[in-house]
């Protein structure tokens, strides 16, 4: 089923073909566009050769449409976007640390943890339903 990825702020479409397009900035102010594979669990990324993503570095991610910061205010290691799959809505979180492979796919009904590093931020998601809004 086709998945659509949306900016949680402006609800703009972030998916272009099979990629999610975001803009990113390193702590050293290196900036560029980044294509993330839209298949959850596939951590391949594409950038222009001038914008090299370095493993272990933390990036700030922005919506390329409205420029809102997508890193969470409380947990900047986690980046949040929305996903629509059929009639179902999900929040998708991933790590802002390059090379860290973890994704969390969350709906009102379920929390799915994907990737070999998923245990790292697990504690943020093992929370009672009513506290989820603080994530
Ligand atoms: Zn936006």
Q: Looking at the predicted structure, is the pLDDT value of residue 135 above 70? A: no
CB neighbours of residue 96 within 10 Å = 20
Q: Looking at the predicted structure, is the pLDDT value of residue 57 above 80? A: yes
113 alpha carbon to ligand 1 midpoint, in Å? 25
List the one residue out of 5, 120, 7 whose CA is nearest residue 66: 7
Going by pLDDT thresholds of 50, 70 and 90, the confidence category of residue 1 is low
List the one residue out of 8, 4, 57 whose CA is nearest residue 31: 57
Counting residues of the chain whose pLDDT is more than 70, the rounded percentage is: 93
Residue 56: which region, alpha, beta or left (left: phi > 0; alpha: psi -120 to 50)?
Answer: left
List the one residue out of 121, 4, 32, 129 whose CA is nearest residue 72: 121
What pLDDT is recorded for position 129? 58
61 alpha carbon to ligand 1 midpoint, in Å? 11
Q: What is the pLDDT of residues 67-104, one digit of tens each?
A: 999 999 989 999 999 999 999 999 999 999 999 999 99
**Residues with C-beta atoms within 5 A of ion ligand 1:** 7, 9-10, 12, 63, 65-66, 68
List the one residue out of 132, 14, 116 whose CA is nearest residue 124: 132
Q: Mean pLDDT, to the nearest integer, of 115-132?
A: 79
Q: How many separate domains does the chain show?
A: 1
Domain range spanning residue 45? 3-134
């Amino acid at each position: 089923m086709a998945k659509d990825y949306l900016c949680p702020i402006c609800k703009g479409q972030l998916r272009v073909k099979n990629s999610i397009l975001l803009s990113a900035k390193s702590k050293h102010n290196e900036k560029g566009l980044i294509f993330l594979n839209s298949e959850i669990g596939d951590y391949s990324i594409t950038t222009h050769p001038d914008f090299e993503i370095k493993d272990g570095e933390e990036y700030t991610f922005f919506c390329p449409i409205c420029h809102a910061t997508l890193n969470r205010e409380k947990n900047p290691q986690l980046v949040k976007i929305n996903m629509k799959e059929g009639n179902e809505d999900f929040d998708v979180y991933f790590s802002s640390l390059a090379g860290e492979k973890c994704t969390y796919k969350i709906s009102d009904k379920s929390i799915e943890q994907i990737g070999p590093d998923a245990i790292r931020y697990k504690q943020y998601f093992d929370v009672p339903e009513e506290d989820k809004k603080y994530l």
